[in-house]
Amino acid sequence: MKRLFNLRPADAVTIIFISLLLIITIGSNSAIPNRFLLIPIYSALLIAQLVLIKIKDKNRLLRIMYDLIFPVISVLVLFDSLGWVVHYVNPVDIDPLLIKLDFMLFGNHPTVMLEAVMNPVLTDILQLVYSSYYFLPVIFGIALLKNNQREEFSRSLFLILFCFYLSYIGYLIWPAIGPRFTLGHLQTQKLQGFFITEPIQQLLNRLEGIKRDAFPSGHTGIALTVLYLAYKFKKRIFWVFLPIVSALIFSTVYCRYHYVVDIIAGFGLTGVTIFFGERYYSWWEKRNTNALNKSL
C-alpha cells in the first residue's frame, strides 16, 4: 500500500480500479459468463501499467505511451468490458426511478418535450458535439504536454482518470440504459439529421452497445472536469471548450442518451472528483516534496 501511494496518482488510481474489476470478476464465480476472457484482459492491463512505470523513461515513444496512449487504451477497454460485467453483477436497472424523477421535475419526459425544438440541422450539430466528448480530454492533454506543462498534465490526467473510474463505479451501483431504449415508444418523432446523425449513432451503438452507463452522466462529468482544468491551466482552451461543453451537456438529453437526473448526477460527479481528487493530489505532492527534502 505504501508503494502504491508513492506512484504517480494517475497510475495508482488505474491500478486500484483495474484490481477492483479483477477481484469482482474472479469473485463472481459463474455469474459473469465472459469471466475467463475478462480475467486475462484485466491482468494484461495491470501488467502493462506496472511495466510502463518501470520503463517509461527509456525513450520518447515509451513516455508517450505512458502519458497518453495507455491511459486512453485503459479507459476505452475498461469501459467496453463493463458491458460484460454490470448486468451480471447488478441485474436491476434503475431506469424506472430515473424516469419517475424526471417526470416529477418537468411534468413530462424531457426527451419527448424536446421534440418541440427538433430539426435536422440542430440534430446533426448536437450529435457531432456529443461525440466531441471522446476528444476533449485528449486535446487538452496534448496541449499541456506540447507546452511542457508536465506538472499540470500529471494533475489533470489523474483527475480525468479519477472521474472516469468513479463514473464506472456508478454504473456498477446504479445501472441504467437510458431513454433511447426505455422511452422510445413515447417518442412521436425519430431523431433524424441530414447526413451526420445516423452514421455517428450507428458507430456509437456498435462501440458502446448497451453498457447501462446512463447514471451518472460520464459525458457531463468528464466534460466539466476538463473544463475546470482548462480554466485553471489553459484559459484560451477554456473559452474554446465552454460553448462546446455547454452544447454537449444539452445534447445528452436532446439526443436521448440521458435523463436530466443523469446530468444532475454528472455535475455531482465532477464535484466529487474535484473535491477528493484535488485533496489527494495535493497530499501526494506534499508527501513527495517532504520525502525529497529528507533525502537531500
What are the pLDDT digits (tens) for 153-180?
A: 999 999 999 999 999 999 999 999 999 9
- Summarize the confidence of residues 102-126 as an average pLDDT: 95
- Summarize the confidence of residues 43-63 as an average pLDDT: 95
The per-residue pLDDT for 211 is: 72
Choosing from 57, 73, 89, the residue where a domain stops is: 89
pLDDT, the chain, mean: 92
Report the domain count for the chain.
2
**CA separation for the pair 95, 97 (Å, rounded):** 5
**Same structural domain for residues 236 and 175?**
yes
**CA separation for the pair 110, 29 (Å, rounded):** 40
pLDDT level of residue 222 (50, 70, 90 thresholds): very high
Q: Under 8 Å CB-to-CB from 227, ≥6 apart: which residues? A: 238, 241, 242, 245
pLDDT level of residue 149 (50, 70, 90 thresholds): very high
Nearest to 217 by CA among 172, 161, 168, 254: 168
**Same structural domain for residues 160 and 67?**
no
**Same structural domain for residues 67 and 122?**
no
Choosing from 74, 89, 104, the residue where a domain stops is: 89
**Which amino acid is located at 13 in the chain?**
V
Choosing from 89, 112, 147, the residue where a domain stops is: 89
Alpha helices in 56-90 (DSSP H): 60-64, 70-81, 86-89
Q: Which residue is it, cell 469471466? A: 35
**Same structural domain for residues 70 and 177?**
no
Nearest to 90 by CA among 163, 171, 165: 171
The per-residue pLDDT for 209 is: 59
* Degrees to nearest 5, angle at CA 98 with 93 and 102: 160
Q: Under 8 Å CB-to-CB from 270, ≥6 apart: which residues? A: 163, 220, 221, 224, 225, 228
**Same structural domain for residues 83 and 49?**
yes
The per-residue pLDDT for 276 is: 98
Range of the domain at 101: 92-296
Nearest to 148 by CA among 216, 234, 244: 234
**Same structural domain for residues 169 and 84?**
no
Q: Which residue is it, cell 482544468? A: 229
Q: Under 8 Å CB-to-CB from 28, ≥6 apart: which residues? A: 35, 88, 89
pLDDT level of residue 207 (50, 70, 90 thresholds): low
**Same structural domain for residues 57 and 127?**
no
**CA separation for the pair 150, 233 (Å, rounded):** 11
Nearest to 191 by CA among 259, 246, 102, 127: 127
Helix, strand or coil for residue 216? coil
**Same structural domain for residues 78 and 221?**
no
**Same structural domain for residues 31 and 58?**
yes
The per-residue pLDDT for 193 is: 80
**Same structural domain for residues 68 and 124?**
no
127-141, 189-203, 238-252: which is most confident: 238-252
* pLDDT tens digits, 60-104: 999 999 999 999 999 999 999 999 999 999 999 999 999 999 999
Structural contact between residues 95 and 178, judged by C-beta atoms closer than 8 angstroms: yes
279 pLDDT exceeds 60? yes
- b/e map 57-89, b = 16+ CB within 10 Å: eeeeebeebbbbebbeebbeebbebbebbbbbb
**Same structural domain for residues 113 and 200?**
yes
1 pLDDT exceeds 70? no
**CA separation for the pair 100, 259 (Å, rounded):** 10
Of the two residues 123 and 288, the one the predictor is more confident about is 123
The per-residue pLDDT for 45 is: 98
**Same structural domain for residues 271 and 175?**
yes
The per-residue pLDDT for 288 is: 81
